[in-house]
């Protein structure tokens, strides 16, 4: 029986040795190369690659999955990590507005990613009870600060036009936090954080 987050992490690594650990910033192309000074040093495993190989070996249709898995060793927490980029959305969307943001976020099925990822872990290990013994956390990692700014603070900035992006970042953050809060089961810890803070959160959750 697998009793700790570290055992589960290492078991998955053993089954998929060809998929190496990487730092989060090596895995996720949120920043231009070379990596900035804020680059995170936490090692994670590309769970999209594991999912693809698992589905190929099992000869089943593609499942959904989180982008990466990680670990908080000191508190025995197995971490599922999903990345969503505001910058890429804003860059490829003309005239961003609340309706467009709502439409985009409605496409994010975090619940399925979480459920399918746990099911893959269970099937890899053959242990149906692993998540009864191991605490999990679900991270949604963004390339902007998730802190919601008061509207009056935005209004006091240089101009409305210059801060249109900040206003829509605010709206995006509110809707993302609401979406994240709905992930079940309700007792799983859920975090919506900046990519710059992943190291400290994984060490502290």
- Over residues 105-149, the pLDDT tens digits come to 999 999 999 999 999 999 999 999 999 989 999 999 998 888 755
Residues 121, 12: contact at Cβ < 8 Å?
A: yes
Q: Count Cβ atoms below 10 Å from residue 11 Cβ, excluding itself.
A: 17
Taking phi over 0 as left and psi of -120 to 50 as alpha, with beta for the rest, 135 belongs to beta
At residue 29, the pLDDT reads 63
Is the Cα torsion angle 115, 63, 80, 75 positive or negative in sign? Answer: positive
Q: What is the pTM of this model?
A: 0.87
Among residues 150, 176, 175, the alpha carbon closest in space to that of 163 is found at 150
């Amino acid at each position: 029986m697998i009793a700790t987050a570290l055992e589960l992490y290492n078991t998955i690594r053993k089954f998929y040795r060809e998929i190496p650990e990487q730092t989060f910033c090596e895995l996720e192309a949120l920043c231009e190369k070379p990596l900035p000074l804020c680059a995170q040093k936490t090692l994670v495993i590309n769970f999209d690659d594991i999912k693809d190989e698992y589905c190929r070996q099992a000869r089943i249709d593609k499942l959904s999955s989180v982008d990466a898995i990680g670990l908080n060793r000191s508190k025995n927490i197995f971490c599922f990590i999903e990345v969503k980029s505001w910058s890429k959305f804003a860059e490829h969307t003309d005239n961003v507005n609340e309706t467009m943001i709502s439409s985009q976020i409605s496409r994010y099925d975090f619940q399925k990613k979480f459920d399918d990822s746990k099911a893959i872990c269970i099937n890899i290990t053959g242990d149906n009870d692993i998540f009864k013994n191991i605490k999990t956390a679900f991270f949604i990692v963004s390339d902007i600060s998730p802190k919601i700014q008061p509207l009056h603070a935005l209004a006091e900035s240089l101009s409305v036009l210059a801060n249109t992006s900040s206003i829509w970042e605010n709206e995006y953050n509110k809707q993302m936090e609401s979406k994240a809060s709905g992930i079940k089961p309700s007792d799983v810890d859920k975090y919506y954080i900046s990519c710059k803070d992943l190291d400290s959160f994984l060490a502290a959750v």
